[in-house]
């Protein structure tokens, strides 16, 4: 008995010990969970019941200089497949048909999207129109969930597409103004916290907290929608007519540096954008600021302006063009092989004489020539404030690899590369009386009730105002007497054509870039217009392909501005006589 | 009433206290629950009203944004051009006539400028 009771006592002791250990283990585990892992479990419980949704911030409006919206934000819906509900109420074929009709998405594509995942919600359509979203909501398809979002719309259509740019699905700007001014116009997204039931639906009287989004600021550009549209229409017509690869038209206010229009093609459609297509990437850049080209004979105006400013020549100064000249082993000839004997500076520009331009550059010498080239802003950024701006390629006599022949070729715009914006800015300095202005594209930013205006910035004085009448008169004659002349009916213009070969590695491609840069009207400039046509197939010359575009754009702008014509036509005199 | 009477009443009340406490407490709790129920109902109702009003406000804001977008589209250059051509049957003109009238001289002086002689002539002939 003693032994048995001893065994029982041991067993009882062991059982008690086991139970005590188990109880202790449970206590320790509870202690661990409730004290040491308290925060982790609290978060897990919170995540189980609390849901968090991002409320996209309404993106600011991008307007033209007169307040007309170019890009605005409207409400929309992301159409989602709720995977939890789809398990109990799968999408039927009728549902998919109804959705594909409402969303204008192919039935099979939509069906494939719906089957894309079995574990997480599926985005069937991003940023669907608000009215479409409401119709889908009315259809009450259990597995379909609509999340409020915002859409970017473009009331003026595709104008200024490369300038305005576009946003991604995360509502962040990806290109153009949308990307460069993301901080100003993007706003700050809000958040919605709510308690949800087992199906993920909000519990009506459960926890609910909303952090409101902060609206993005509004941006007013210097662009005039009418001028922008005119520039794009005329550019498109020219590209089609001359079978060109692309082109650029820039219209600038010479006194403020404000861009009134900036068109570059090829471009893309803001309304039918497919950012997933890698083939479109080439179309997104704003070629007016990113692409370099040799300015060709338009650069002779820069050379002539420098020589006039230095007092080395005047419009009647003559030199002798006796034929091709050989300089440093290179033959310098005129564009058409024609030579003119004794020729003055005005005729040099009218005939666009390379031999004459090289003669002028010799008068200037490399130090003064490159000083002016730099003062005009070549080889440096214009600081317009848009990303991707190229600075150009300029090799001066201070740089290694420079040779004296560079001075000669640079004088007529070869061996130097510029952006269309740089050349427009330089011509604006000529048109406004000699001051280089910083080009601007944003006029004002309005955010949180505060308006910040962008004022014109004078970069530096390049030319003396006194030489302007002479230089403008020479440019006027170059336009009027060019071959063919660049005229705008009823108005006087001033400008210069240019034709340059397209460089490639180790030489030239054989194609050309035809251009015209000038101002309207002469002698009271109101706008500088640059036209550049890339690789036209039907005619290579700037005077043939770019000059008519300049005339067409200039005429429509002057009529739009109600500028009184400077010339009186016979029929007008006839009407005057009648009265 | 003398002092003895008061003492008697107090004694009577004291003697009934244990019996009254329970129903009084139950009654009080019941009343409290009713008040809480009414309050909760009221809060719920107001909560729903607030949610409904917030939802209506959001709908109006969205409608407002859509109206702004519609106005912008209606005022767009492409729409104006389309309306002018299709509804008003207007045509794009390539010729323009500017007439400057000097009002100070009793409108005797009129200066006209035209941009395109040939097209202007043909339009005058018509």
Query: Mind listing the domains of chain A with CATH numbers?
Result: 52-82+96-104+123-221 (3.90.1310.10), 244-268+285-560 (3.40.710.10)
Task: Report CB contact under 8 Å: A571, B120.
Answer: yes
How far does Cα A564 stand from its chain's mean position?
33
Residue recorded with tokens 């909501």: A137
- Kindly report the number of other CB atoms within 10 A of residue A266's CB atom: 15
- The whole-number pLDDT of residue A477 equals 95
Q: Per-residue pLDDT averaged across B31-47, rounded?
A: 91
Give the number of other Cβ atoms within 10 Å of residue A531's Cβ: 35
Q: What does the block give as tokens for B13?
A: 């009340």
Q: What are phi and psi of A123, to 5 degrees?
A: -80, 115
Residue A571 near chain B (CB below 8 Å): yes
Put simply, whether A63 touches B (Cβ < 8 Å) is: no
Q: What is the pLDDT of residue B120?
A: 40
Q: How far is CA B41 from the centre of its chain?
A: 28
CA nearest to A56, candidates A176, A160, A191, A153: A191
Chain B partners within 8 Å of A575 (Cβ)? 97, 99, 110, 112, 114
Q: Identify the CA nearest to A550 among candidates A225, A264, A231, A267.
A: A231
Cα torsion for A552, A558, A562, A567, to the nearest 10°? Answer: -90
The 3-state DSSP composition of chain A as helix, strand, coil percent (nearest 5) reads 40, 25, 35
Closest CA to A154 of A59, A271, A56: A271
Over residues B40-62, the mean pLDDT reads: 87
Beta carbons of A229 and B98 less than 8 Å apart: no
Distance of CA B30 to the CA centre of its chain: 44
- Phi, psi torsion values for A245, nearest 5 degrees: -75, -30
- Nearest-neighbour CA in chain B from A469: distance (Å): 25
Is A572 an 8 Å CB contact of chain B? yes
CA distance A334 to A353: 6
Beta carbons of B77 and A229 less than 8 Å apart: yes
Q: Is A568 on the interface with B (CB under 8 A)?
A: yes
Give the CA distances from residue A389 to residues A135, A290, A503, B98, in Å, rounded to whole numbers and listed in that order.
45, 5, 20, 42
Alpha-carbon distance of A235 to A241, in angstroms, equals 10
What would the DSSP string read from start to end of A310-363?
Answer: TTS--TT-EEEE-S-EEETTEEE--SSS---EEEEHHHHHHHT-HHHHHHHHHH
Is residue B16 helix, strand or coil?
helix
Q: Tell me the count of A-B CB pairs closer than 8 A.
A: 82
The pLDDT value recorded for residue B117 is 45
Task: Return the residue in B58, B65, B66, B110 with the most chain A beta carbons within 10 A, the one to mutate for interface testing.
Answer: B65
Contact A74 B66 (CB under 8 A): yes
With a CB cutoff of 8 Å and minimum separation 6, the contacts of B99 are A575, B110, B111, B112, B113
Residues B62, A130: C-beta atoms closer than 8 Å: yes
Among residues A574, A578, A529, A535, the alpha carbon closest in space to that of A231 is found at: A529
pLDDT attached to residue B123: 34
Which of B62, B78, B98 is nearest residue A565 as measured by Cβ atoms? B98
Residue B115: its chain A contacts at CB < 8 A?
A: 489-490, 555, 559, 565, 569
Facing A156 at nearest CB: one of B47, B76, B98 = B76
Residues in a beta bridge with A151: A74
- Do the chains contact at B113 and A490, CB–CB below 8 Å? yes
Say which of B65, B66, B117 has its CB closest to residue A571.
B117
pLDDT for res B125:
32
Minimal Cβ distance to B69: which of A68, A74, A157: A74
- Tell me which H or E stretch contains B12: helix B3-74
Half-sphere exposure of A309 (CA within 13 A, CB side): 25
pLDDT tens, residue order, chain A (579 aa):
445 567 788 888 888 899 999 999 999 999 898 888 888 888 887 777 888 888 888 899 999 999 999 999 998 998 988 888 888 888 888 888 888 888 888 888 888 887 777 777 888 888 888 889 888 988 888 888 888 888 899 999 999 999 999 998 888 899 999 999 999 999 998 888 888 777 677 776 678 888 888 999 999 999 999 999 999 999 999 999 999 999 999 999 999 999 999 999 999 988 887 777 787 888 899 999 999 999 999 999 999 999 999 999 999 999 999 889 998 888 998 888 888 899 999 999 999 999 999 999 999 999 999 999 999 999 999 999 999 999 999 999 999 989 999 999 999 999 999 999 999 999 999 999 999 999 999 999 998 889 999 899 999 999 999 999 999 999 999 999 887 788 888 889 999 999 988 877 777 778 899 999 999 999 999 999 999 999 999 888 888 899 999 999 999 999 899 888 877 665 555 555 443
Identify the closest residue of chain A to B67 by CA–CA distance.
Answer: A74
pLDDT on residue B121: 38
Best interface-test mutation with A: which of B41, B58, B67, B72 has the largest number of A CBs within 10 A? B72
* C-alpha separations of B104 from A307, B101, B107, B109, B110 in Å: 48, 9, 7, 9, 12
Which of A114, A119, A116 is CA-nearest to residue A143?
A114
Across the interface, which of A226, A555, A576 has its CB nearest the CB of B112? A576
Q: Could you state, in order of their start, the residue ranges of all structural domains in chain B?
A: 20-92, 93-126
Residue A576 burial (10 A CB sphere; 0-12, 13-18, 19+): middle
Q: Which chain B positions have a beta carbon within 8 Å of A556's beta carbon?
A: none
Beta-strand pair A62-63/A218-221? parallel
């Amino acid at each position: 008995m003693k032994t048995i009771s001893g065994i029982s006592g041991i067993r009882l002791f062991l059982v008690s010990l086991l139970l005590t250990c188990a109880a202790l283990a449970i206590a320790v585990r509870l202690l661990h969970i409730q004290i040491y892992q308290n925060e982790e479990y609290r978060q897990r419980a919170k995540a189980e019941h609390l849901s968090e949704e991002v409320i996209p911030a309404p993106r600011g409006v991008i307007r033209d200089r007169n307040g007309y919206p170019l890009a605005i934000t409207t409400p929309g819906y992301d159409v989602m497949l709720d995977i939890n509900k789809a398990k109990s109420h799968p999408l039927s074929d009728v549902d998919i048909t109804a959705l594909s009709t409402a969303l204008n998405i192919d039935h099979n594509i939509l069906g494939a999207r719906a089957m894309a995942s079995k574990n997480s919600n599926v985005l069937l359509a991003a940023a669907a129109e608000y009215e479409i979203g409401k119709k889908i909501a009315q259809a009450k398809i259990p597995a379909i969930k609509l999340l409020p979002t915002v859409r970017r719309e473009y009331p003026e259509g595709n104008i200024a597409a490369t300038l305005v740019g576009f946003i991604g699905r995360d509502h962040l700007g990806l290109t153009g103004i949308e990307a460069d001014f993301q901080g100003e116009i993007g706003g700050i997204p809000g958040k919605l916290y709510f308690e949800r039931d087992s199906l993920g639906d909000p519990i009506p009287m459960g926890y609910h907290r909303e952090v409101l989004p902060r609206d993005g600021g509004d941006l007013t550009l210097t662009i005039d929608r009418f001028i922008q549209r005119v520039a794009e229409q005329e550019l498109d017509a020219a590209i089609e007519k001359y079978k060109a690869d692309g082109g650029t038209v820039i219209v600038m206010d010479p006194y403020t540096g404000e861009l009134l229009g900036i068109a570059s093609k090829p471009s893309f459609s803001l309304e039918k954008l497919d950012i997933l297509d890698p083939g479109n990437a080439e179309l997104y850049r704003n070629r007016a600021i990113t692409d370099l080209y040799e300015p060709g004979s338009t650069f002779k105006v820069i050379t002539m302006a420098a020589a006039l400013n230095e007092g080395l020549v005047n419009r009647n100064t003559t030199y002798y063009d006796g034929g091709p000249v050989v300089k440093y082993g290179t033959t310098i000839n005129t564009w058409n092989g024609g030579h003119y004997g004794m020729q003055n500076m005005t005729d040099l520009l009218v005939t666009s004489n390379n031999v004459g331009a090289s003669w002028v550059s010799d008068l200037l010498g490399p130090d003064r020539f490159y000083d002016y080239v730099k003062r005009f802003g070549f080889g440096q950024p214009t600081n317009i404030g848009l990303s991707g701006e190229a600075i150009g390629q300029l090799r001066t006599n201070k740089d290694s690899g420079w040779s004296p022949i560079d001075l000669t070729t640079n004088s007529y715009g070869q061996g130097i590369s510029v952006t269309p914006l740089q050349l427009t800015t330089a011509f604006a300095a000529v048109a406004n009386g000699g001051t280089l202005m910083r080009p601007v594209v944003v006029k004002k930013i309005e955010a949180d009730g505060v308006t910040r205006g962008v004022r014109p910035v004078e970069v530096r004085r390049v030319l003396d105002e006194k030489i302007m009448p002479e230089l403008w008169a020479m440019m006027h004659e170059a336009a009027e007497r060019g071959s063919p002349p660049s005229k705008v009916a009823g108005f006087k213009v001033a400008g210069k054509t240019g034709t340059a070969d397209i460089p490639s590695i180790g030489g030239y491609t054989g194609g050309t870039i035809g251009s015209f840069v000038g101002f309207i009207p002469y002698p009271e400039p109101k706008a500088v217009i640059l036209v550049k046509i890339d690789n036209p197939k039907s005619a290579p010359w700037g005077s043939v392909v770019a000059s008519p575009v300049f005339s067409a754009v200039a005429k429509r702008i002057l009529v739009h501005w109600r500028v009184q014509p400077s010339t009186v036509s016979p029929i007008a005199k006839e009407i005057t006589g009648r009265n | 009433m003398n002092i003895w009477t008061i003492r008697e009443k107090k004694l009577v009340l004291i003697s009934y206290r244990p019996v009254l406490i329970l129903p009084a407490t139950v009654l009080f709790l019941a009343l409290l629950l009713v008040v809480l129920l009414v309050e909760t109902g009221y809060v719920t109702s107001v909560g729903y009203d607030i949610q409904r009003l917030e939802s209506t406000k959001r709908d109006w804001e969205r409608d407002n944004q859509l109206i702004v977008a519609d106005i912008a589209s209606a005022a767009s250059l492409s729409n104006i051009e389309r309306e002018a051509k299709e509804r008003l049957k207007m045509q794009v003109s390539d010729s323009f006539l500017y007439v400057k009238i000097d009002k100070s001289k009793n409108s005797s002086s009129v200066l006209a400028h035209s941009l395109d002689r040939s097209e202007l002539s043909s339009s005058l002939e018509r």
